[in-house]
């Protein structure tokens, strides 16, 4: 097992596209590290560079204490699992699992031991004699994961391995992967564009945008204090409300007189945007203490909660998360107030966190 150090990694493709722009990552030995970002932000390119499938334009990659820049993939001792699980269609599950070991000329008795162990961990026992076309999508992906396991690599690299599965199976597989990683203690880099997946899996998350890392932190750190407006709008469902504010009488004021607690050390000479989670706002009766007037634009009743969209006279409507028992009609006049939890504040021009 080994940690992975990526230092000022840069990748420019021959057509001039800069896919990865000076990325630094320090992934701990035994860590489940998630790279999260929208399509095209450079996740796959970064992972392929770590695997040795793509040569970086500049920058260094270390696995354990070894500088691997010039090592071919096979000598990096890592296993990669892709979104499209490439199983050999003419081989049974057992032979698919054995394939990478036989390729290394491992003695057959040991191959059998390793295959049986991986099959036990991924619960593939009843599937060992089937070919891929007789397996469901989820079963195929479990075989693909098991095939990465049998090699006992120093690290796993996973490129959106759950994206093609349906929602229920994806949740199950997420639990399995998390459990497996904890059990094996093997370093894992898991790439996804799905923030829920990232939050539920990662020990830490790196949020990428346009080839750059915008934030690295634990799930709670990135949720509580997104480092940029991009991160603020990417994490959370619905994401943070971005509210134009100014400093008045020591408080942050938004449209309609909405008051937010001011973080310490804010200077007045810039245009500010506050990031307010939907659960940090409250819908009240009109005229309730501390509430400004607003109107219900729409409501999504999700069963365990309701998301209200309110017009409070601001440039953008705000979303408020409430208990399912809080009921207001469309178009009803209501009150809107902030619950008082500390609010991160961003500079509108640099889009970075200022306080």
Ligand X SMILES: Nc1ncnc2c1ncn2[C@@H]1O[C@H](COP(=O)(O)OP(=O)(O)O)[C@@H](O)[C@H]1O
| Binding window for Mg ion (CB under 5 A); candidates: 43-51, 104-112, 239-247, 303-311 | 43-51
- Closest by alpha carbon to 336, among 273, 272, 255, 261? 255
Which does residue 15 bind out of Mg ion, ligand X, none, counting CB within 5 to 8 angstroms by kind? Answer: ligand X
- Give the whole-angstrom CA distance, residue 312 versus residue 215: 31
**Binder of ligand X out of 1, 8, 13, 134 (CB under 6 A):** 13
Listed ranges 33-41, 261-269, 305-313, 332-340: which one lies at the site for ligand X (CB under 6 A): 33-41
209 contributes a contact to ligand X by CB under 6 A: no
Pick the binder of Mg ion from 9, 25, 44, 275 (CB under 5 A).
44
In the list ligand X, Mg ion, none, the entry touching 141 (Cβ below 5 to 8 angstroms by class) is none
Q: Which is nearer to ligand X, 58 or 123 (CB)?
A: 58
Measured from the CB of residue 325, what is the shortest distance to ligand X in angstroms? 41
Q: Which of 3, 42, 275, 344 binds ligand X (CB under 6 A)?
A: 42
Find which of Mg ion, ligand X, none residue 343 binds, CB within 5 to 8 Å per kind.
none
Q: Which two tokens stand for residue 63?
A: 């696995």
Nearest distance, CB of residue 191 and Mg ion, angstroms: 7
Quote the DSSP letter at residue 162: T
Kindly tell me which residue out of 6, 19, 158, 162 binds ligand X, with binding defined by CB under 6 A: 19
Dihedral angle at the C-alpha atoms of 213, 217, 218, 222, nearest 10 degrees? -80
Of 245, 296, 295, give the one whose Cα is nearest residue 270: 245
Does residue 15 interact with ligand X by CB under 6 A? yes
Of 264, 284, 233, give the one whose Cα is nearest residue 342: 264
Q: Please check whether residue 150 is in contact with residue 103, taking contact to mean a CB–CB distance below 8 angstroms.
A: no
Please give the sequence-ordered ranges of beta strands (E in DSSP) within the chain, or none if there are none. 4-12, 18-27, 32-36, 58-63, 66-67, 78-81, 155-159, 187-192, 204-209, 212-217, 241-248, 251-253, 259-260, 272-276, 281-284, 292-301, 306-311, 318-322, 333-338, 345-347
CA distance 355 to 352: 9
Should residue 51 be labelled a site residue for ligand X when binding is judged by CB under 6 A? no
Vertex 178: Cα angle to 175 and 180 (nearest 5): 105
Q: Choose which of 3, 25, 32, 44 interacts with ligand X (CB under 6 A).
A: 44
Q: Is 192 in the site for Mg ion (CB under 5 A)?
A: no
Under the binding rule (CB under 6 A), the answer on residue 41 touching ligand X is yes
Residue of 6, 36, 43, 217 that binds ligand X (CB under 6 A): 43
By beta-carbon proximity to Mg ion, the closer residue of 44 and 343 is 44
Tokens coding 183: 């059990």
Joined together, the tokens standing for residue 17 give 């596209």
Selected range binding ligand X among 38-46, 69-77, 241-249, 319-327, rule: CB under 6 A: 38-46
**Could you tell me the smallest distance in angstroms from the CB atom of residue 188 to Mg ion?**
17
Q: Which of 21, 68, 66 is nearest to 46 (CA)?
A: 21
Check binding of 17 to ligand X (CB under 6 A). Answer: yes
Would you say 158 or 334 has its CB closer to Mg ion?
158
Query: Whole-number minimum distance, CB 73 to ligand X, in Å?
Result: 17
Judged by the rule CB under 5 A, the positions of this chain that interact with Mg ion are 44
Binding residues for ligand X, per CB under 6 A? Answer: 13, 15, 17, 19, 37, 39-45
């Amino acid at each position: 097992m080994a940690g992975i150090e990526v230092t000022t990694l840069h990748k420019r493709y021959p057509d001039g596209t800069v896919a990865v722009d000076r990325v630094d990552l320090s992934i701990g030995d035994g860590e489940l590290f998630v790279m999260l970002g929208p399509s095209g932000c450079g996740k796959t390119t970064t992972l392929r560079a770590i695997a040795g499938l793509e040569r970086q334009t500049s920058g260094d990659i270390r696995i354990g204490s070894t500088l691997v820049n010039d090592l071919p993939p096979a000598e990096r001792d890592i296993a990669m699992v892709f979104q499209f699980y490439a199983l050999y269609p003419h081989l049974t599950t057992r032979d698919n699992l054995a394939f990478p070991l036989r390729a290394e000329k491992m003695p057959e008795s040991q191959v059998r031991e390793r295959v049986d162990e991986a099959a036990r961990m991924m619960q593939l026992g009843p599937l060992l004699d089937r070919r891929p076309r007789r397996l469901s999508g989820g079963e195929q992906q479990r075989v693909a994961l098991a095939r990465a396991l049998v090699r006992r690599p120093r690290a796993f690299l996973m490129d959106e391995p759950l994206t093609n599965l349906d929602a229920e199976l994806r949740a199950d597989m997420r639990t399995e992967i998390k459990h497996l990683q904890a059990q094996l203690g093997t370093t894992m880099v898991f790439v996804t564009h799905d923030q829920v997946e990232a939050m539920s899996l990662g020990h830490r998350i790196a949020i990428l945008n346009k080839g750059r890392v915008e934030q690295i932190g634990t799930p709670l750190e990135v949720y509580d204090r997104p480092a940029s407006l991009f991160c603020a709008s990417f994490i959370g469902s619905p994401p943070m409300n971005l509210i134009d504010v100014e400093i008045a009488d020591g408080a942050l004021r938004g449209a309609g007189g909405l008051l937010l607690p001011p973080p310490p050390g804010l200077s007045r000479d810039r245009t500010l945007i506050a990031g307010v989670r939907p659960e940090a706002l409250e819908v009240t009766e009109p005229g309730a203490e501390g509430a400004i007037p607003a109107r219900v634009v729409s409501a999504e009743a999700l069963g365990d909660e309701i998301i209200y969209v309110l017009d409070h006279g601001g440039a953008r409507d705000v979303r408020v998360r409430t208990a399912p028992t809080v009921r207001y009609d469309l178009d009803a006049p209501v009150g809107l107030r902030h619950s008082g939890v500390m609010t991160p504040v961003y500079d509108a021009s640099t889009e970075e966190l200022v306080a």
